[in-house]
Amino acid sequence: MILFLKLLVAHLLGDFVLQPKNWVKDKEKKKIKSIKLYAHIGVHAILLLLLLQFNSTYWSVFLLVIVSHYLVDLGKLYLQRKKNKRLFFFLDQVLHIFFLVLATYIYSPFKVSIDAILTQQNLLLFACLIFVTYTSSIIINTLISKWNPEKGNKSTEQSLANAGKYIGFLERILIFVFIAINQWAGVGFLLAAKSIFRFGDLTASKDRKLTEYVLIGTLLSFGLAILTGLVYSHYGR
């Protein structure tokens, strides 16, 4: 774990802290001919050497991480397009982490037990996270589907696509986490913050039906998240 954390710290520093935006643009433009690409790999090499304390026993780890990082970055530069840039950002990071794990395993083999992963607590956590995101979203939409005061509302039509859906996901996950760690004050803070941003606009619009519609949805969202958090707190420990 210590070795993996050292590799991870080097990766995070090299990819996010010590890589200026102009380096990224230069790599995307010139690809394999970009000097910034090799400067970026050089930064990673220096960070790895420092964190591994120039220990020669880690030479295989060092080579695997550096070569894989170069090849993954190069593949990303040639395959990504403007439309799939976000997808390749996450794919790039997943591959980097995979090679960090692989390098750690090659140096110090470890066993992964399925039974250790599929414990009652982990399965309950997974089920709760699915419920507070997708399942709760469907339940709420079903319950309030007979009212639709937002239809034809200009301010709604100008909102971001699926913004409400993902805001609901995030708020319920945060509520679930706050309750799971027994920090109820966080739930109150979240409700107050949402009231300021959301209900302030509704009051200004003087649309009573829309206000009631949003209030019902919010209370259902908070209620389902709180209930799920209580279930996990009771049975997941």
Identify the residue whose tokens are 């220990």: 55
| Residue-by-residue pLDDT tens, the chain, 237 positions | 799 999 999 999 999 999 999 999 999 999 999 999 999 999 999 999 999 999 999 999 999 999 999 999 999 999 998 888 889 999 999 999 999 999 999 998 877 778 778 888 889 999 999 999 999 999 998 888 777 665 555 555 556 667 778 888 999 999 999 999 999 899 988 888 877 776 665 555 555 677 777 788 888 999 999 999 999 998 876
Q: What tokens appear for 203 in the block?
A: 């009051």
Give pLDDT, residue 94.
Answer: 96
What sign for the dihedral angle of Cα 84, 101, 51, 46? negative
Question: Crossing angle of helices 136-143/208-235, nearest 10°?
Answer: 150
Record the pTM.
Answer: 0.75
* pLDDT computed for residue 116 by the predictor: 77
